[in-house]
Structure 1
Amino acid sequence: MVIDEGILESYGAKAISLKKNEVLFLEGSSALNYYQVAEGIVKMNNFSADGQEFIQGMFKDGESFGEPPLFGGFPYPANADAVIDSLIWKLPKENFIKLLKENFELHLKFCAILSKRLQFKAMMAKEISSYTPEHRVLTLIDYFKKKEDTESANNDYEVPFTRQQIADMTGLRVETVIRAIKALVAKKELQIIKRKVFRAYAA
């Protein structure tokens, strides 16, 4: 969890509900609030001129999203909408800035989070321009597997994304992702159990 929910409430945060596919904010709109997922999943995305979706990030319980425009004072570079029914903490920008000023350790925490997101974007830009579909898919899965860092670290990692979501994050067609996953299964890099994709913990 980025910010404890008790601290959020003490600074005036409110919990808002989003239905599946409901839009929280649109690309180009002003950044007026800090958002943190209480329950559910939110994705940030863009659409190309021909309507193809590109997912910039997926955020689940305890994760925050959309902070750079709050710090930089620029419009949102992507849309945000709920992947499933979700509950989101919403904190006005001025309260968020005050919270960071009064809690320096949280300020440092956000510096680390934003740095890791920049690393992810740089990694994906390199993957999309330089590597095979199989390599792109495996790199994406391994990134999120490492990010989880949970008690199940010594168990096989269940990939929490659909084939379509993997396609939208890697810039591939869903048919290409399906073929890449099949090829990785043949190489024993991945497993498919009851249609779910798994990555071995030792990978």
Structure 2
Amino acid sequence: MIICENLLFSHGAELQNYIPGEYIFEEESTPKYYLQIKSGTVKLSSFLEDGKEFIHGIPFDGHCLAETYLFHDKKYAVNAIAITDCEIIRLEKNKLMKMLQKKPDLFFNIYSYTADRMHYRYIIAAPFSFQDPLAKLNLILNHIKNHFGFKEKFSYHIPYTRQQLASLTGMRIETVIRTIKKMEKQDLLKIDGTKIFI
């Protein structure tokens, strides 16, 4: 978790519940709250002109949502949509700023989280220039595995569906399905039912 939940509640935060498919915030809306996921999974996405969805990230328990928007006056450039039932801790922007003035060390927590997310962005940006779907998918899956500290072969269960992987990589779902099967044949990952282990 980025900021201690008790600290957030002691400064006036409230708990909001969302059901799958419900918007937590929409693109072009004005950021008014610091949002931290108590439980559940959210997708940060944009819809392209052809109606396709591009997923920027899939944060879950303990992560915060688009926190950088609280430090300037721009509107959200993405949507935040609940994938599962979610409990979101919500603290008004002005209350967050007062809390940060009292506890400036919290800036380091937020900045460290943002820096980690930027590192992930830089890692996954390179594969988008790859023509080979296998190279693209392999790099992203291994980065996710390494991010969570898993080292052993097939020790990490990828928490994304094939459709979510397609949206994360910009590939068609059919391409992702074929590529995953090809990776299994090359012993790069293991499939157990619908689960993917890398």
Same fold (TM over 0.5): yes
Q: Compared with structure 1, are the counterparts of its residues 153 and 129 closer, same or farther at alpha carbon in structure 2 (3 Å cutoff)? A: closer
Distance 1:38 1:131 in 2: 38
**Contact 2:41 / 2:60 at 8 angstroms: preserved in 1?**
yes
Higher strand content, 1 or 2: 1
**Contact 1:101 / 1:107 at 8 angstroms: preserved in 2?**
no
Report what 1:186 is aligned to: 185
Secondary structure of 1:110 counterpart: helix
Give the unaligned 5+ runs of structure 2: none
Q: What's the CA shift string for 1:41-67, capped at 9, x where partnerless? A: 011100110001000111111111111
Q: CA deviation at 1:72?
A: 2.2
Structure-to-structure mapping, 1:99-178, within 5 angstroms = 99-149=99-149, 156-178=155-177
Structure-to-structure mapping, 1:1-203, within 5 angstroms = 1-149=1-149, 156-199=155-198
Distance 1:70 1:131 in 2: 37
Deviation above 4 Å: which 4+ runs of structure 1? 152-155
- TM-score by length of structure 1 reads 0.92
Give the unaligned 5+ runs of structure 1: none
- TM-score by length of structure 2 reads 0.94
**Aligned AA for 2:162?**
R
**Aligned AA for 2:156?**
Y
Q: CA deviation at 1:148?
A: 2.2
Q: Compared with structure 1, are the counterparts of its residues 178 and 79 closer, same or farther at alpha carbon in structure 2 (3 Å cutoff)? A: same
Q: How many matched pairs?
A: 197
**Contact 2:3 / 2:109 at 8 angstroms: preserved in 1?**
no
**Contact 2:46 / 2:53 at 8 angstroms: preserved in 1?**
yes
Distance 1:186 1:21 in 2: 35
Secondary structure of 1:12 counterpart: coil
Q: Compared with structure 1, are the counterparts of its residues 139 and 100 closer, same or farther at alpha carbon in structure 2 (3 Å cutoff)? A: farther
Secondary structure of 2:80 counterpart: strand
**Contact 1:44 / 1:58 at 8 angstroms: preserved in 2?**
yes
